[in-house]
Structure 1
C-alpha cells in the first residue's frame, strides 16, 4: 500500500490492530477502545484525529471520526487502511452462523435418517451423538463416521460372520474398523444398547455378547428359529424338515445353516404369520395340530436365523404379518422386525390395543416406550393407559385369524421361484 500519508507509522499500529479485531467480528462497530497507549502512541492518535490535547491511556474512538480523518489523510476508508496494514478482514459472525447451520443440518440428517425413523429407540442414541459434539470439530468427519455406523446398523443382524469379516465387508475392506476401542465400534454398540434397552457394554465379554446378539461372531448352529405349518414344496433339506414337522403337528427348530441351503422351493399361497412368543405357537399347534397355518416365532428379538427365514419366505412370495406384545420392549421388537423384513403389522394398532384392554385383566406396566412407526397413536394410547397387553392375552383372536387364513388358502399353491 502506497501514499499512506503517515497512516502506517508504528505509533498508530495499536489503533489498526484494535480495529482489525473489531471489524472482523462481523458485528456493527461504532466505537473502538484501544490501549493502554504510551505517550508516543497518544500523540500519534491526537495528530490523526486533530485533537487539541492528548487522549487518555485507553481511549474510545468513534469510527465515524476515524473515517473522516482517514479520508482527509489519504482518501481511503478505514476498512481499506486496516486490511492493507494488518491483513484481510474476517467475518467471524458469518463463520459462526455457517458452522452452526452445518451442525444443525448434520443433526437433522441423522434424526431423519431412514434407519433412525424406522427404529425410534435409536432416538436416545441420536441424542447421545449430538451431546458428544463433532469429531475433531469437523462436520464432514462426523458425518462420515455416522454414515458408517448407520450402514452397519442397517446390515444387522449379520449372518454369523466373525467380527473382522463383517467389518471388512461393511467398511471399505477394513477388518479392524469394528475392533474394541474404535469410535465406530463404540457408536454401533451404543446404538444396539439403545435399541435393546440395555446398558452400554463395559468389558470385552459384554461387548462380545452384544455383537453375538446382533448375529456377529456367532455360528451357523446356535441361532435357531421356530416355524410351524410351513409346507414347502421341494427336495431340499429345508423342505423335508418343515414338511415332516408339519405332518406331525410339531414346530421345526431351524438353524441358519439349514436356511442357507434351502434348495428349490415352492410355497403354498397365503400369508405367513409371525409371533413374538413361543407360547402362542404352542397354542396354535394344540388347536390346529397337523393343519396349523404357516407360523414363525421370533422368540423375542429376532436373531440371524429368524431374519433370514422371514426374508427367504418373502423372497418366495409370502406376505408376512407380525404380532407382538403391547409393551415397550414389544414395540421396539416390532419396529425392528418391520425394518429388517417386508412384514406388516398384524393386530398392532392403537385400536387393537384399546380393544384388547377391554378383554383382559389389568396387565403389567408398559415399561420404556418409544414411538411405533407404523401407528404413532399406539404409543400415545399405551402412555395414557399405562398397561401392557402381552401376546398370550389375545391369543384367541390371533388363532381365529390363523384359522381364517388357513381356510382361505387351503389346497392352493404358489409358483416356483
Structure 2
C-alpha cells in the first residue's frame, strides 16, 4: 500500500479516470458530499453500457452483468485501499476531481456565521443611540425577514448593517434632528470612507432610507425624487448639482435673477444646463400653451443655437434622467405643450412612448411616413446603413411605424432629420 503522502502510480490514476468510470465518480462524489464525507450506504448506477460494466467489474472484483446496479461505498473503499492506488475512497475522489465539500458541515458553519451576524448586529443596535427606538428594532427585523443582506457573505453583511446603524444613529431620525450635514457625500465619507457610499444604487443607501421612512412615518420612496425628499426630511442635503438637463430658448416670465438669466440667454441664442438645484429655485411660469420642443440628441440643441432658432428646446440626452423629467414636469404644470422627436431605433421608440404617454406630447416628425422619407434621404446621401438592434417596439402614436421600421431594418438617428427639425424650430 502506498504511504498517504506518496502519489499513487500515474497509470493507476489514469485507469481510474477512464471515461467508462466517469459516472461512478460523479455519483460517488455527490453521495460523499451529501453524507458529510462518511463512507456509508450504497449508490445506484443505471444504464451502464458494456464497457462501463467491464471497467466496474474489474474495479470491484465482481461481475457486473446488468445495466443497473448498486455499489456499497464501504466495498469500493476496501478495494481502492487494497489496490494500486492505495488510498481510501474519499482520497481517491479528491485525486480524480479535486476537493470535496462536506455540505452538512458547510451548512452548519454558514448557519453559525448567520447566527453570529445577527447577534453582533443586534448588539450594535443595543449599544447605539437607537436602542430605545421601536422603529429601529422593527427596521432590523424587517431587514432580517426580507433577506436584504442574506446574499452577502456574513462578514460583509455585518459591516454593512453596522454602518447603517451608525448612520441612522447619527441622523437621530426619531425626533432629534441632529447636525445638518452639508451633503449626502459628506455623511457617506464620515461612515464609509468614500463619498459614493450612499449613492442611490448602493445597498447601504436603500437600508438607511428604509430606516428613515420608518422613523419619520414617511412612505418608502419609489423614485429618485422621493429619495431626495426623504434625505431632506432627515436633514441631509442630496446631490443636486452633478446631473443637468440641456435646454435652449426657455423664457419664464418671473422677475427673479434666474428667470431673467434664462431669458437673456435665450435672447443671445445660448444653450443652458440646469441642475436639480436650479429647478428648485426657478419659477418656470410661462405664457399659457407655450410649445416646448423635446429632442433626444444634444446636437439638435447645438444646431438650433448656432442657427438662431427661436423655439424652446429641452434635450433628454438619450435616456431622460431624473433632472430631465423634473424640468418637463414643471413645464407641464405651467401649462406647456410638448412636441417630441427622437431616434428611429427601438430604444428611441421606447423613450418616445414614455414622453408621449407622460406628457401627452405631440409626435414631431415621428410618423411612419417621416421614417420612410428619412430612410430614402439617407440612401441618396450614400450613408452606410445601420441595422436595427434590440426588441421591436410599437409606437403609441402610429401603429404603422413598427412594421415600416422592421421592413427597412434601418436605424436612423436624430441627426439624419436635423435639416427638417431646424426648419420647424425656425
Pairwise TM-score range, normalised by the shorter structure? 0.3 to 0.5
TM-score (norm 2): 0.45
TM-score (norm 1): 0.46
Which structure has more relative contact order (CA 8 Å, sep 6+)? It is 1
